[in-house]
Amino acid sequence: MSAPFPHFIIVDDSQLDCFIAEKIIQNAGSYSSVKSYMEATEAYEAIKKSVPGPADAMTIIVLDIQMPVMNGFQFVDAFEQLPADIRSNYAIFLFSSSINENDKNRLGNYPSIRRFYGKPISKDTVAQMIETL
Amino acid sequence: MEKQEKIKILYVDDEINNLTGFKASFRMSYNIMIAVNATDALEHLNSHPDIRVIFCDQRMPGKTGVQFFEEIRSRYPKPIRILLTGYTDIDSVIDSINLGNIFRYVKKPWNDGDILAAINEANKFYVSNSLLAVKNEELQRAYNELDKFSYSVTHDMRGPLLSILGAIEAAQDVDDISEIRKMLKLMKNSVLNLDDFIQSIHDYYNLNRGELEIKQIDFKELVDEQTRIFNFTYLVSDVRFKTTISQREVFRGDELSIKLILNNLLSNAFKYQRKENKTKFVDLNILVENGLAVIRVEDNGVGIAENYLGDIFNMFFRASSQEVGSGFGLYNVKAAVTKLNGKITVDSVVNKGTTFKVTIQNK
């Protein structure tokens, strides 16, 4: 029996980027659900409250770096403080239109970040993310 | 002519007679400090970091002038070091000059002309050295800023472009025309956002590089122009816009900077409204009297959380993702206010509203 399709959470302050990611993921077809958050704090609260069932599919988080209020790295900081049984249901992928050396070096400090991708998200990226699960 | 502070000169010699003679000869033109030994000399150097020239006798008990200069060089690199010495010591002096410990030497017994010439040369060297140091520091700072700036700018310019690219890719697989329309609307916002950002960079450049152009300011005219600009915005989003201008005297200032301040503050006031609020308003109040122009922009919008108030004037800082913004607007406002020697303060309560107050002086 193959694993169920993953859920997707998109965290990006750009409405257009959220919209694109939703479309690309939906068009790729391999998803159980897609939800967008323009505020990272709201996404964090939702994840904190989530109670996944044992047989539930993994959730892929498509995370933007530069956002006001709570940026991508601050989001991961907060995420990594969550209990392990919640964290194990999520896979975080970082997205940005550019990345500086400083940010690149920081990636290594976050075990829960699976990979960094340049924007825009594409069908191939979605397939690759699902592949790593 | 502006009265300049006298140049500080330190003279170290174990012979009191030399010291008093030196002081008597030059105290009218320079601020002369004297020391009979290295300990006294260090005390002077500690309490007067702006000593420009040090004269030191080569032959002193316990320590030669060359040794003294060698010792102080790393701790007090700025003062120019000049050795006083007779011909017999010339070999050690040559070495020391070549090692860079001494700027030059004056032979003993000295005459006033030699000393004055040495001070002149040393002072010129000191001034150009410190100018160079200041310029270097400025350059380094500008360079670091440029680094940060160019990263953020590339990111912020590529962001909307890549969004549009992504939308074009995604649209290839969409057949529903209403979906396409929705995407086009979002793409249009991205384009506007990018255009807004480029305009802000232009403002930033003007503020930082441009000269002030002082001329008579008619605030009524400026406000009329802004009213025309925002006319569409406040009609569409149902915001009551009230302007009160009382200009009681002729005001002179830099029009470009004042326009920029008005435009950015008003744009924010219109942008950060509470959508559910039934009585949205933006009040602009300008009072010009007693050599001051006081501009108040008040709204009853979303407000700014207290912990962000300290950051809102920082470049690229954004306290909300409710609306598109570059994080450039208030930074530019602050730069414009500073350029006009003015003051800006902000009062804000979350979900109650925000008031910015700008005070600028009549030129």
Instruction: Name the residue type at position B203.
Output: D
List pLDDT tens digits, range B233-253. 777 678 899 999 999 999 999
Say what angle helices B255-271 and B329-339 make with each other, to 10 degrees: 150
List pLDDT tens digits, range A56-102. 789 999 999 888 778 899 999 999 999 998 999 999 999 988 777 77
Give how far the C-alpha of residue B81 lies from the chain's centroid of Cα atoms, to the nearest Å: 34
Cβ neighbours of A99 (radius 10 Å): 19
* Nearest CA among B61, B70, B107, B113 for reference residue B88: B107
Among B169, B179, B186, beta carbon nearest to A16: B186
* Domain carrying residue B76: 8-110
Give B175→chain A minimum CA distance, Å. Answer: 11
Contact B321 A66 (CB under 8 A): no
- Residue B36 forms part of a structural domain: yes
The verdict on A81 touching B (C-beta cutoff 8 Å) is no
* Predicted pLDDT at B284: 96
CA dihedral of A43, A48, A52, A58, whole degrees rounded to 10: 50
Which of B147, B162, B186 should be substituted to probe chain A, the one whose Cβ sees the most A Cβ atoms within 10 Å? B162
Among A14, A24, A69, beta carbon nearest to B319: A69
Among the three residues B83, B110, B137, which one is the final residue of a domain in this structure? B110
- Residue B80 forms part of a structural domain: yes
List pLDDT tens digits, range A89-130. 999 999 988 777 777 788 888 989 999 998 899 999 999 999
CA–CA gap between residue B111 and residue B132 (Å, rounded): 32
Contact B163 A120 (CB under 8 A): yes
Q: Where are the beta strands (DSSP E) in B211-342?
A: 214-217, 240-247, 251-254, 281-289, 292-299
* Predicted pLDDT at B136: 92
B186 contacts in A (CB within 8 Å)? 15-16, 19
- Residue B91 forms part of a structural domain: yes
Q: What CATH code is carried by the domain that includes residue B84?
A: 3.40.50.2300
Is B243 found in the same domain as B362? yes
Q: What CATH code is carried by the domain that includes residue B325?
A: 3.30.565.10
- Residue B291 forms part of a structural domain: yes
Is B351 found in the same domain as B233? yes
* Nearest CA among B287, B294, B281 for reference residue B353: B281
Tokens of A121: 């998200």
Among A15, A69, A120, beta carbon nearest to B166: A120
Contact A66 B155 (CB under 8 A): yes
Query: Taking CB atoms and an 8 Å cut-off, how many pairs form between chains A and B?
Result: 77
Q: How many residues does chain B have?
A: 363
Q: State whether residue B100 is helix, strand or coil.
A: coil
List pLDDT tens digits, range B144-157. 878 877 877 877 78
- Residue B312 forms part of a structural domain: yes
- Residue B356 forms part of a structural domain: yes
The verdict on A98 touching B (C-beta cutoff 8 Å) is yes
Among the three residues B110, B135, B168, which one is the final residue of a domain in this structure? B110
* Predicted pLDDT at B1: 41
Among A20, A68, A96, beta carbon nearest to B167: A20
The ipTM (two decimal places) reads: 0.78
CA dihedral of B245, B250, B251, B256, whole degrees rounded to 10: 80
Among A66, A69, A96, beta carbon nearest to B320: A69
B327 contacts in A (CB within 8 Å)? 68
Contact B321 A17 (CB under 8 A): no
Q: Which structural domains are found in chain A, ordered by start?
A: 7-132 (3.40.50.2300)
Give how far the C-alpha of residue B185 lies from the chain's centroid of Cα atoms, to the nearest Å: 40
Instruction: Please give the tally of structural domains in chain B.
Output: 2
Among the three residues B81, B110, B139, which one is the final residue of a domain in this structure? B110
